[in-house]
Chains A and B, each alone.
Chain A
């Protein structure tokens, strides 16, 4: 699981163009959205949905599902591990 968490962090940095950020800057359980976490906002959700589909074959059809899945990197990793098709 630790490997998957690190992989997701790297993909987040690449996909969201977080230039200069390192995986160490992202806490496993830190909220992805809002000022206390990674500082992402609703614009970034689209990028995260595409990230899941392209890299793990997961399609999120329901936006409400995204709210739960994108809570933190750790939550994302759990979801990917349970639902990935590639």
Chain B
């Protein structure tokens, strides 16, 4: 195969494809990326048998061909080149030759016969805007479980009710829910997308603007936009019925400026113990909201935050890291914290916005 393109066009898809390849796979083909030149386009494909991606870009072609090679090597090389440089790529026998104005390199290729095909998904097909889809994912996936012990929570849950899309993730200590309203009502059965795959999906689609097409069947999802095809397995099992545990009423409510809280939390973190524990003492009777952290090896800290308080006095221990994590997903300047005593879950939302809900369990003291 022989073709010509620019570094800029090539580098993003090579990087994205390489991130998907399987490390330490027993089948060598799975750790490579596949490049196919036919017609007037280049296709780059990679899969780890849980997630698969295929990118397509138009190129100036001289000759068709197929090769497999180590994506990391190619990406590392490309990343050293100026973005707008033209690059000519030619394949002969077991090497790939890349030529630019100033550089010339040859990279070893691998046999491509064992390279898997990507499954196509026939099933429910829906269209949703990219912005809402990506925002829904990014606002929630950080809360899902990292370990695969319970696969159903090491995933992001997605479902639809008429015009509203729900994205939910939990690791059983905290839970994030994001509601996105879209113009066209959609209908599909709820799905669970594995956490590791959703990170890549969000990365790849982040800077796109086109509407996204989802094809969903029982076990698999395919995500398509022009030039990109992504397919992921779905986690089997059902997501816990989370709606019932979100409290609707609170004994104590706090409204506070996000930035004030963030600054105090960061200071408190210097003195928090290795469990990241901080304590909020909220005393509406004295109009005082205090944040305390203590580490026997370092020292102690107590900071008072200006806030509007109402309801009963309460003191609660929370994981500072879990708190800070959710704040960056709240666009509003002030947030509300709803509490029901020191041993019940805390609910955090942006003021006047019910689309994002964050539920956090207290720590044992």
A, B bound: no
